[in-house]
Amino acid sequence: MKKNATVITIADTKGGSTKSTTAVNIAAFIAHSGLKTLLLDFDLEQPTACSYFPLQKEAPYGVYEFLIMHETDLDKLISATTTQNLDVMSSNSVRQEIVSHLNASADGIIRLKSCLKLLKSEYDVIVIDTVGTIDPTVNMAVLASDVVLSPLDPSMPGVREYLRGTISNLFRSLIPFTDYGIELPPVYTFFNRVEENNDCHRIKELFNQQINALPPLPFKITVLDKDIKKKNSYKVAASLGIAAFQHYTEPTNKVAHPYKITKAQAQSIKDDIYYLCQHLLPRYQPQFDAFMKTEIAH
Ligand SMILES: Nc1ncnc2c1ncn2[C@@H]1O[C@H](COP(=O)(O)OP(=O)(O)OP(=O)(O)O)[C@@H](O)[C@H]1O
Ligand SMILES: [Mg+2]
C-alpha cells in the first residue's frame, strides 16, 4: 500500500542550536519504532545529518540530483543506514549552486513541496535537517513540511535570533504563500542544552512573555513545556555514530579515554526524544509506546 509520509522540518536560523542532533535522534527513534523513515539533509554547507549514521548502501546521488536534475530513481538517490527502517538522502551540493538554480526557476522555493510527492508515497515519516541561517533552502523545507520543530538555544542571543531571524524573517516571509492555498505548518519549539542556572530560567521567562505578545500569525507556535538538558551523551553518541538513546561500553579497556553511555543515560534521552515525537506525530503514539517498552539497546 502507498504511504503518505508526514514531513517534519527542523529549522532555526541560529547556527549551532542543536538542529542536526535533534534531527538524527528523532529520525532514529521513529525508525526504531518500526516506521519507515527518511532523513533528508538540507544543510548544504555542513552535511552533518547524512554523515551521522554508518551506511549499509551508499547511493551515488543526493539532494542536487533530486531537486535540480529531477532524478526519480530512488536506488540512485537514497542511501540505507545500518539502522533498520532508516534511510538518508545526502546533501551533495554547494548551497549557492542550488539557490541560483532555484532562483532562476519559475517554481523556485515551492519545488521541494512537489518533488517530495515521490518520496512521501514510500515513507511514513520524512525528517529534514536544515542550515542554521536565513536561506531559501530553509524556506523551501518549511513550505514543504507538515510540522516544524525548532530547538532553541537557552541564551539571550539564542532567543533574540529566534524572534528576529526565525519568526520575523523566516516564518513571516512565507505568509504571502497562504494566498496561493499553501498552509503554513505549525511550529513547535523547545529549549535544548538547558543547564540548571538562573540565567536559563530568566531567559525562558522572557521568551514566553515575548512569544505571547506577538501579533496573530497564520501558523501556531507552541513552546513545549519540557526542556532538554545539557547531556554529554549526545556528543559521545555523535562520535560513535549511534542514537543517543542507545547504551555503549567500549569493548576494550585499553584506550585512555573510553566512550561510555550508561543504560540510565540512554533511557533519559529516550524519554526526551519520545516526548518530542509524541507532539510531532500523535498518530504514531501506539508505535512509540511499544518502542518505549523495549529494553535500552546497544
Ligand atoms: N542536549 C545536548 N546536550 C549537550 N550537547 C548537545 C545537546 N544537543 C546537541 N549537543 C551538541 O551541540 C553541538 C551543536 O549541535 P548541532 O550540530 O546539532 O547543532 P546545529 O544546530 O545542527 O548546528 P549548525 O547550525 O552548525 O548546523 C554538537 O556538538 C552536539 O553534540
Ligand atoms: Mg546542523
Pocket test for ligand 1, best of 10, 18, 137, 271 (most atoms within 8 A of CB): 18
Examine residue 262 and state whether it is found in any structural domain, yes or no. no
Examine the pLDDT at 82 and tell me if it is beyond 80: yes
- Centre of ligand 1 from the C-alpha of residue 242, in Å: 15
pLDDT of 1 over the 90 cut: no
Q: Dump pLDDT digits (tens) for 189-202.
A: 999 999 988 788 89
Residue 283 domain-assigned (yes or no): no
Instruction: Output the nine-digit C-alpha cell for 141.
Output: 523545507
**Which protein residues are within 6 Å of ligand 1, measured from CB?**
15-21, 43, 46, 48, 132, 192-193, 228, 230-231, 234-235, 238
Q: Is residue 210 part of a domain?
A: yes
Q: Is residue 287 part of a domain?
A: no
Question: Average pLDDT in the 35-41 region?
Answer: 98
Residues of the domain holding 144: 6-230
Residue bearing the bigger pLDDT, 297 or 113: 113
pLDDT digits (tens, 9 = 90+) for 95-110: 888 989 988 998 988 9
**How much is the pLDDT for 179?**
95
Q: What is the pLDDT of residues 124-166, one digit of tens each?
A: 999 999 999 989 999 999 999 999 999 999 999 999 999 999 9
Give me ligand 2 centre to Cα 293, in Å: 30
Residue 288 lies in a domain: no
What's the number of domains the chain is made of?
1
pLDDT of residue 199: 85
Residue 253 has pLDDT above 80, yes or no: no
Residue 63 lies in a domain: yes
Residues 6+ apart with CB under 8 A from 217: 167, 171, 172, 175
Judged against a pLDDT cut of 80, whether residue 252 lies above it is answered with no
Q: How far is the CA of 18 from the centre of ligand 1 (A)?
A: 4
CA distances from 146 to 8, 16, 152 (A): 6, 24, 20
**For residue 178, is it within any domain?**
yes
Determine, yes or no, domain membership for 241: no
User: For the domain that residue 185 is a member of, what is the CATH number?
Assistant: 3.40.50.300
